[in-house]
Structure 1
Amino acid sequence: MATIDRQTATLALAHALVAAERGLPVIPLSATKLPALRSPHRGDDPPVRCRGACGLPGHGVHDATTDPAAVRALFAAAPHATGYGIACGRPPHRLIGVDLDVGTAPGDDSTAALWHLAERHRFAIPPTVTVLTPSGGRHLWLTGPPDVPVPNSASRLARGIDIRGSGGYLVGPGSVTTHGTYRLAPGTAHLAPAPCPRPLLHLLTPPTRHPARARTTPPHPGSRQGQGLVQFVRAARRGQRNTRLFWAACRAYENGFGDALTDALTAAALHTGLSEQEARATIASAARLTTGGPELP
């Protein structure tokens, strides 16, 4: 098993170096698809929101780099890494990831939903780099203009369509996770990421809200989105508790009510058996990842 692990780590580094050579900033990921390096500020009270200015690794997507020596150093510090993440929104490509999930409920078809949007808003989905996920979904790689930051979002565009933009990352092809390997879709390996169609870009960049009108109150008690995230965490089994909590916290912060939902998410994590310290540290890590830069996820 140790030999297989070393081989997987070696391949992950090799794939990451190839991506870096193509101008794609990368970070090492664990088999859970989370950044493989722990924050150097874990346990700090009050929590420290650092974007890497301290000079130490462990700041998630803020560690992403295209420098080969720096990439090797990151992977050397994370020998258990089995994959790599590609930072979105960063020059020169300024990637926008369209994550088409596989739905479980009847009628869930994110691919069909995207085509419906394309038809409704009169744009074509261009041939582009496409990555197949172990769950059967796919990631479409698009590029954005330098003057239009695209925020991360979860199912805002349509059910099952998540967007990875500034401050987010995509799991790179060749990465090995607990559920399988991410692979390039046949016939797309030779393609370059296509420019995002202008109508789609408009859909991905909601109008800027006046600061005084920004949401500062908790979500309504009956909010399906907030309560759905809490129930998602409460349903976690041993081995997936931290992963589910981190994912839910990221989604909450991406949608503007992370701080308001912190106590409810913590209570849900305690229900699964996590300690309060573990839960709050995981939520703080999600906050740093999603709100540490121009932003979800």
Structure 2
Amino acid sequence: MATTARQTATLALAHALSAAERGLPVFPLSATKLPALRSPHRDEDPPVRCRGTCGLPGHGVHDATTDPAAVRALFAAAPRASGYGIACGRPPHRLIGIDLDVDTAHGNDSVAALQQLALQHLFTIPATVTVLTPSGGRHLWLTGPSGVSVPNSAGRLAPGIDVRGAGGYLVGPGSVTTHGRYRLAPGTAHLAPAPCPRALLRLLTPPPRPRHPTGHTSPARQGQGLVQFVRAAHAGQRNTRLFWAACRAYEHGFGDDLADALTEAAVRAGLTEQEARAAIASAARLTAPRQNP
């Protein structure tokens, strides 16, 4: 029994590393499809709302990484992991998962419902990576454009159709759960995730909040003060200033657009590019909408 568990964990790591090589951020899952690592803040009172900024593992989807060494370290800390999650909404793919559930008890046909939406809104469901779930459902993998954040939702599009977007995750193919194995649908293993059709993307994203005119319309101009704030940082405050500025940029919706300028400013202030990118990525995770997959 122990040998089987070790083999399952080894296969899960192998599948996770393969996904990470393709630019998909991954982290270990238990057989219940929940994060395999317990929160380092579980015994703290009052509860701590941390999304990985403490630097310790155990923050669920916020642990997700494409770094092979970091992936191995996460799985080493979770020896009972039997699968892996793939973080959605993260560059470079900005994955969007369309989860088509099976609900024969209530007569819901999620595949037919998606096809009906395609007819009504004049889009074609593209050929893309498709993962078959143990329950008979399927996950369609799509990619989103930069600057668009797709929220998670359950049944909002139609009964039986759930959406995994920013802050959510998909169970990766090859994962083993208490209900069975997730596997790639025949004929889709060679495909790359297809771009989300524009009409479908409009259905997945909430209407933009009205903005009051300020005279500064471009992200570069809106974030100029933040860039200057980082550039003026002295030793001992560079990382703190960069993290604060990146959080404000993401909260106002132009974090991705300002990331390069903030990185350049931080490098001029004395950080390495790797340190700057890591701080900005932490800010992006911290300010992402909290969603329960």
Per the TM superposition, whether the score is higher than 0.5 is yes
Partner residue in 1 for 2:25: 25
**Whole-Å separation in 1 of the counterparts to 2:44 and 2:121:** 47
Distance 1:144 1:5 in 2: 36
What residue is the counterpart of 2:2 in the other structure? 2
In the alignment, which residue of structure 2 is the partner of 1:181?
A: 181
Question: Is the 8 Å Cα contact of residues 150 and 295 (structure 1) preserved in structure 2?
Answer: no
Given candidates 273, 289, 293, the residue that maps to 1:294 is: 289
Q: Which residue of 2 aligns with 1:41?
A: 41
**Paired letter, 2:33:** K
Secondary structure of 2:156's counterpart equals strand
Q: Which residue of 2 aligns with 1:191?
A: 191
What is the total number of aligned residue pairs between the two structures? 219
Could you tell me how far apart the structure 2 residues matched to 1:36 and 1:155 are? 27
Q: Rg bigger for which structure?
A: 2
Aligned AA for 2:44? D
Q: 1:96 maps to which residue? A: 96
CA-to-aligned-CA distance 1:8-43 (integer Å, 9 cap, x gap): 000000000000000000000000000000000002
> Could you say which residue in structure 1 is the equivalent of 2:162?
162
Q: List per-residue Cα deviations over 1:58-105 (Å, max 9, x = no partner).
A: 000000000000000000000000000000000000000000000133
Partner letter of residue 78 of structure 1? A
- Say whether the 8 Å CA contact 1:167–1:295 is kept in structure 2: yes
C-alpha separation in 1, matches of 2:105 and 2:178: 23
For 2:50 and 2:173, the matched residues in 1 are separated by 28
Q: Residue 77 of structure 2 aligns with which residue? A: 77
Give per-residue Cα distances to partners, 1:154-197, cap 9 Å, x unaligned.
00111000000000000000000000000000000000000000
**Conserved 8 A contact 1:153-1:162:** yes
Within-5 A mapping of 1:1-297? 1-209=1-209, 293-294=288-289, 296=291, 297=293
SS of structure 2 residue aligned to 1:123: coil
Whole-angstrom CA distance in 2 between matches of 1:152 and 1:74: 25
Query: SS of 1:105's equivalent?
Result: helix
Deviates more, 1:39-48 or 1:13-22: 39-48
Decide whether the 8 Å contact of 2:53 with 2:286 is kept in 1: no
Alignment TM-score, normalising by the size of structure 2: 0.72
* Distance in 1 separating the partners of 2:287 and 2:178: 27
Cα distance in 2, alignment partners of residues 159 and 292 from structure 1: 29
Aligned to 1:157, what secondary structure does the other structure show?
coil
Structure 1 residue ranges, 4+ long, deviating more than 4 angstroms after superposition: none
C-alpha distance in 1 between matches for 2:140 and 2:287:
25
Deviation at 1:295, TM superposition (A): 5.1
Is the Cα contact below 8 Å between 2:51 and 2:286 reproduced in 1?
A: no
Deviates more, 1:41-50 or 1:192-201: 41-50
Q: Which residue of 1 is the match for residue 236 of structure 2?
A: none
Contact 1:152 1:295 in 2 (8 A): no
Report the AA paired with residue 103 of structure 1. Answer: D
In the alignment, structure 1 segments of 5+ residues that lack a partner are 212-289
**Aligned Cα root-mean-square deviation (Å):** 1.6
The answer on whether the counterparts of 2:26 and 2:66 sit within 8 Å (CA) in structure 1 is: yes
Percent of paired sites with the same residue: 82
- In 1: Cα distance, 2:98 partner to 2:286 partner: 20
1:101-153 alpha-carbon deviations (Å, 9 max, x no partner): 00133431000000000000000000000000000000000000011000000
Which amino acid is 2:154 matched to?
A: A
Contact residue 50 and residue 292 of structure 1 kept, 8 A: no
Task: Tell me how far apart the structure 1 counterparts of residues 58 and 174 of structure 2 sit (CA, whole Å).
Answer: 22
Contact 1:108 1:160 in 2 (8 A): yes
SS at match of 1:69: helix
Shift, 1:51, TM fit: 1.1
Q: Distance in 2 between matches of 1:166 and 1:118?
A: 23
Deviation at 1:2, TM superposition (A): 0.2
State the partner residue of 1:285.
Answer: none
Aligned mates of 1:174, 1:293 — CA distance in 2: 27
Q: Distance in 1 between matches of 2:97 and 2:75?
A: 24
Question: Aligned partner of 2:43: which letter?
Answer: G
How far has the Cα of 1:201 moved from its partner? 0.2
